[in-house]
Amino acid sequence: MWVKQIAVWLFRVSWVALVFATGPAIGDALDGRSRAVQIVGTIGTWAAWGVVMLVALVPTTVSLTVLRTITPGSIAVGGAAWGAGASATAGIVAVAFAAVATLLAFSGDVGETFAQGSAYGHERRLPLRPPGPVLVVLPLTWAPLVACVLIGPLALAARNWAVGAPLTAFAAGLAVVLAKRYHRLSKRWLVLVPAGIVLHDHLVLAETNMVAKNTVGSAGLALVGTEAANLTGNALGPVVEIRLRELATFVLAAPPRGQTKALHVQSFLISPTRPGRALRELHLLGIPPIA
């Protein structure tokens, strides 16, 4: 527990430190610009910082989505400030501090703390790693969003309507479309309850599945060559295998232009962000290790 709390507090401290680390770079970049550009740049920077600081103090799954969407943008801001006239020293410091904050934001300990913040009763929520293909698609959708958010309002402030208006409108529309999709990544968990285990993953599954505790036989790290059903979405890294005493049915989410598919399985694979911690919690629930 204390390890997770330390990670959260390290993020909060790093986000506060980011003000002092990026301030000189942003100041250098805005120096000599029009008053309108300076005002928009300053307000936008402080607004983004304030939103992240606020959600960092209120751990929930919604807060996690906001935090992980905005925080990496600080790297883009630092890099843009560096390219727009900030000194090399100020630019390097800004990007370095932003990178540290981003790494902490995406750490498993921060994710688990925020997921647990929205838990009900005796739930124990253990986040799952994102499917492998998502790691490719995510930056390709996030980068245009951040670019338009940074450039659009500043172009409007500079009275460059031809550039600013469409980019700002595109950023607003894209943010609405992506918000729900990004939030799904924050709501992927293995949930432990006294009655059993629940797999809540609407990227991989069409519906939430609960397996009664008395039907779970064992759990452990999956070995190469296992025949267990892969419910990880091809996530990278070590996976956990859960073996059942009887068949269970899982309905896979429908692919684009496809149909759902039901699997009847006696063992399945999941990808907790902290496999060792997940196994420890499963064993505490009374589920023995795989012999």
The per-residue pLDDT of the chain, averaged, comes to: 93
Quote the pLDDT of residue 85.
82
Q: Are 186 and 61 in contact (CB under 8 A)?
A: yes
Q: Which whole number is the average pLDDT over 18-47?
A: 90
The secondary structure of 232-269 as a DSSP string is SSS-SS--EEEEEEEEEEEEEPPPTT---EEEEEEEEE
Name the pLDDT band for 36 (thresholds 50, 70, 90): very high
With tokens 């986000």, the residue in question is 15
Interval 120-125 mean pLDDT: 92
Residue 13 has pLDDT above 90, yes or no: yes
Q: What is the pLDDT of residues 249-286, one digit of tens each?
A: 999 988 877 788 899 999 999 999 999 999 999 999 99
Q: Please give the average per-residue pLDDT across 6-22, as a whole number.
A: 94
Mean pLDDT across 112-118: 95
pLDDT band at 106 (very low <50, low <70, confident <90, very high): very high
- Contact yes or no for 168/152 (Cβ under 8 A): yes
- If pLDDT is split at 50, 70 and 90, which confidence band does 174 have? very high
Q: Per-residue confidence at 134, pLDDT binned at 50, 70, 90?
A: very high
Q: What is the pLDDT of residue 256?
A: 75
With tokens 């600013």, the residue in question is 164
What pLDDT does residue 171 have? 96
DSSP states of 175-222: HHHHHHHHHHHHT-EEEEETTEEEEE-TTTBSS-EEEEGGGEEEEEEP
- What angle (nearest 5°) sits at the alpha carbon of residue 284, between those of residues 281 and 289? 85
Tell whether the model's pLDDT for residue 1 goes beyond 70.
no
pLDDT of residue 32: 82
**Amino acid in the structure at residue 159:** R
pTM of the model: 0.92
CB 102 within 8 A of CB 121: no
Amino acid identity of residue 80, one-letter, is A
Task: Give me the residues paired with residue 250 across strands.
Answer: 263
185 vs 260, residue with greater confidence: 185
Residues β-bridged to residue 211: 197
Rounded mean pLDDT, 5-15: 95
The pair of three-digit structure tokens given for residue 45, joined into one six-digit string: 């920077």
The per-residue pLDDT for 68 is 97
pLDDT level of residue 41 (50, 70, 90 thresholds): very high
Give mean pLDDT, residues 103-124. Answer: 94
